[in-house]
Every structure is written in structure tokens, then in C-alpha cells.
Structure 1
């Protein structure tokens, strides 16, 4: 039986990844640069960000810094105005909370996370949240999930990570923790061959955490 779950956030608990992409795409379009979405997804799976293509095209760091701030504004606009709920998440968390302790380990920045959860119930099921400012090295490095384990006081064998991206999966694998990958159309073409489980919805986690009983 698993006693702990460490959840990724974007694409797992809320449907935000496409809006993050659209915010970056829009910010770069403002300066005449068109993002190749397929290359963006490949870059993201390797831990690279929105700006990899722009740098490769010779856009200077000053311009990238300006457009990063613009992207952040666009993204928060989307977070406040678009429907980002994933059906069944709150109900699944309520059921899982009967059996396991849970926390969130995300690469989201604190400012974005706080906007997302101003009026949502997800946080009340969590022991804690680790955002990007809470650790030094981002996914796919194992540090985020190792930090989560330490904070929980949990053993690797007692814990399950839930992810939707290859970058997050690789972080969990590098930390030595079993990982369940939940279906997300935005990341579905990525390599999930090292996942311990593949699921369609979070309620399926109940069977996984209870399977050893």
C-alpha cells in the first residue's frame, strides 16, 4: 500500500499547460516570432522553456527578459478568465484523502499558483505545496521530489508520484519513486515508457494505492 502521493500540478490537478503555451506564443508573436508547437513540446520534455526557440533564432536576452514579463501577464490573465478545472479532481482527492497523505510538487511559480487557487478547493486536501521558489533545481532533476519526500518524512517505496509530462516522470524516476502518468492531450506524445502506471483519471489512483492490501 502507498501511504503518500506527491502530485504534479499543471496538467494533473488543473488544466493550465495549454494556456501557459499560449501565453508564451502570444508574447513572442508580439515581437514577430512564431513558435513551433511541436518543437516547444520537445523542448519542454527536456526541461527547456518557452524561450529556447527564440534564443536559437538569435533573439537577445534583453528582448527575452521583456517578453517573459509580458508572458507572465498574459498567463495570469488566462488563469483568471479561462476554465481550467479538470472534472472529477476534487472528488478524487476527497476519496484519496481517506487513505493517503498528499502534497503538491510543482514547477509553477508561487504567484501563478496563488492565482489558480484563490477560489478552489484543491489545497485543503494537501499537507503542503512546493512551488518553483522552494527548491534550487527544477524537474527533470530529482531535487523537487526528494524535497517532497523529506518534507513528508516518507520513504520512496511508500510514495507515489502523479505526473503528466516526461520531464516530471524523469524527475520522479531519478528520485527513485514510482510514478503514475495521467492522460493529458497536451503531453500525450511524450515518452512515458518508464512510468509505473498509466491512468486516465485520478480516481484510478485509489486502486493503485490500495493494491498491496
Structure 2
């Protein structure tokens, strides 16, 4: 039985991965660069930033600084206006809270995370949240999930990570923690061969958590 669950955030608890891409695509487009979605996903899987393609094409850091500011603004616009709910998340978290303690470990920036959760009911089920600013090295490094173990005082064996991307899976594997990958249409082409479990929705987590051995 698993006693602790460390949830990734974007693409797992809220449907935001696509909108982060669209914000970057829009900002780069205004700078005259067309962001390739398939390459973006490959870069994402390796833990590269949104700007890997642009840098490879010779776009300078000063321009990228302006693009980044624009991307951040567009992303927050989308967070306010687009439908990012994932059906059944709150009900599933309420059910799981009877069996396990839970927390969020995310590469989301604190400002974006706080905006997302201004009017949502997800945080009430979480013991703590670790955001991008809380770790020097982000996923795919193991540091964020190791920090989650430390905060809980938990062992690897009694903990489950829930992810939706190859970058996040790599972080969990490097930390030595079992990982359940939940289906996300945007990241479905990633390599999840090292996942402990593959699930279609969070509703399947209860059986995994209660499984013995």
C-alpha cells in the first residue's frame, strides 16, 4: 500500500500543457519564429526549455527575454479564459485522501500556480506544494521529488508519483520512486516505457494505492 502521493500538476491535475505551448508559439510568432510542435514535445521530454528551437535558429537572448515576458502574459491570459479543468479530479482527490497523504511537485512558477488555484478546490487535499522556485534544479533532475520525500519524511517504497510527461517520469525514476503516468493527449507520444503504471484517468489510482506488495 502506498501512503504518500506526489502529484505533478500541469497535465495531471489541470489541463494546461497545451496552453503553455500556445503561449510560447504566439510570443515567438510575433518575433518572426514559427515554433514546431513536434520538436517542442521532443525538447520538453528531455527537459529543454521552450526556447531550444529559437536559440538553435540564432535568436539572441535579448529578443528571447522580450519573448519570454510576452509568453508569460499570454499564458496567464489563457489560464484566466480557457477551460483547463480535468473531469473528476476533485472527487478522486477527496476519495484518495482517506487512504494517502498528498502533495504537489511541479515545475510551474508560483505566480502561475497561484492564479490557477484562486478558485479551485484542489489545494485543500494537499499537505504542501513544491513549485519551480523551490528547487535549484527542475525536472528531469530528481531534486523536486527527493524534496517531496523529505517534506513528508517518507520512504521511496511507500510513495507514488503521478506524472504525464517523459521529463517528469525521468525525475521520478531518478529519485527511485514508482510512477504512474496518466494519459494526456498533448504528451501521448512521449516514451513512458519506464513507468510503473499507465492509467487513463486519476480514478484508477485508488486500486494502485491500495495494492499490497
Calculate the TM-score normalised by the size of structure 1: 0.99
- Superposed, 1:33-182 pairs within 5 Å as 33-182=33-182
* Deviation >4 Å, runs of 4+: none
Write the distance in 1 (CA, Å) between the matches of 2:4 and 2:196. 16
**What is the distance in 1 between the residues matched to 2:37 and 2:198?**
24
Give the superposed CA RMSD: 0.6
TM-score using structure 2 length:
0.99
CA distance in 1, matches of 2:179, 2:31: 39
Distance in 1, Cα, partners of 2:148 & 2:136: 13
**Count of aligned positions:** 213
Q: Give 3-state SS (helix, strand or coil) of 1:156's partner.
A: coil
Q: CA offset at residue 203 of structure 1?
A: 1.2
Q: CA deviation at 1:17?
A: 0.3
Structure 2 CA distance for aligned equivalents of residues 60 and 44 of structure 1: 20
CA-to-partner distance for each residue in 1:149-182, whole Å, 9 max, x for gaps? 0001100000000000000000000000000000
Task: For residues 6-42 of structure 1, give each alpha carbon's deviation from its aligned partner in whole angstroms, at most 9, with x where no partner exists.
Answer: 0000000000000000000000000110011000000
Q: 3-state DSSP class of the match of 1:103? A: strand
Counterpart CA distance in 1 for 2:72 and 2:200 is 30
Instruction: Give the CA deviation at 1:202.
Output: 0.5
Cα distance, 1:53 vs structure 2: 0.4
SS in 2 for 1:128: strand
Taking the aligned partners of 1:25 and 1:49, their CA distance within structure 2 comes to: 13
Task: Flag structure 2 segments of 5+ consecutive residues without an equivalent.
Answer: none
Distance 1:3 1:122 in 2: 19
Structure 1, unmatched stretches of 5+, are none
